Amino acid sequence: MNIKLFSSTLLIICATVVQAGPLDDLNKAASDAFGKAIAHKASEAAKAKANKAIALKLNKKLLAESRSNQCVFKSNSDELEPGCDNKAKRLAALMIKTKKTLQDSGQSGFKFIVSGHTDTSGDAAKNKDLSKQRAQVMVKQLISHGVDSSDIEAIGMGSDKPLVKPDNTPAKMARNRRYEIQIGF
């Protein structure tokens, strides 16, 4: 009998609470806020996924173009061999077009990353420094052809990511002395 009485009392209390206007408003506000928070998280996740998909597609093109329009560096130097200007101009035009594509699709918070690379000969620490210097030289070239300086940065990879293994011939070593351009978000 006590259980029935307790259950009936609890139902009456619950019915009273449910009918109270301010609590309904509070519950609705909390529910709306929770729903908006979940929608915001879902929107952010969708945007991140879209960023990744767009970046993958555009990075493939940038990487292919930077490899086919490679400016050659002298061995153990950040000095460019002659003939780089037209290649840098083509890369800069592609980067400017890529930026517009990203912005038109609602993307923001990205940068072009120019990574410099060396062959495996020599001291690893010196190669790291040299690779950054080479990347900085290319950044200056690209900026001179219209890429906004706030949209681009240089990093040095040293000989950590060789394109050709082993680089045991002068031709293979030359291929590893390179730069690559990618989009970073």
pLDDT band per the 50, 70, 90 thresholds, residue 30 = low
Q: Where are the domains of the chain?
A: 58-184
Q: By mean pLDDT, which of 35-49, 68-82, 110-124, 154-168 is the weakest?
A: 35-49
Q: Are 134 and 88 in contact (CB under 8 A)?
A: no
pLDDT for 88 beyond 60: yes
Pick the closest to residue 135 from 181, 93, 94, 98 (CA basis): 181
Average pLDDT for residues 49-54, to the nearest whole number?
A: 77
Question: What homologous superfamily does CATH list for 58-184?
Answer: OmpA-like domain (3.30.1330.60)
Which carries the bigger pLDDT value, residue 45 or residue 117?
Answer: 117
Q: By mean pLDDT, which of 23-27, 36-40, 118-122 is the weakest?
A: 23-27
Report the Cα 147 to chain-centroid distance in Å: 17
Q: Are 166 and 148 in contact (CB under 8 A)?
A: no
| pLDDT value, residue 71 | 87
Q: pTM for the complete prediction?
A: 0.72
Which carries the bigger pLDDT value, residue 153 or residue 53?
Answer: 153
**For residue 2, what are its two tokens?**
């006590």
pLDDT for 32 beyond 90: no
Average pLDDT for residues 91-108, to the nearest whole number?
A: 92
**For residue 179, what are its two tokens?**
């730069």
Q: List, for residues 101-145, the tens digit of each pLDDT value.
A: 999 888 888 999 999 999 999 899 999 999 999 999 999 999 999
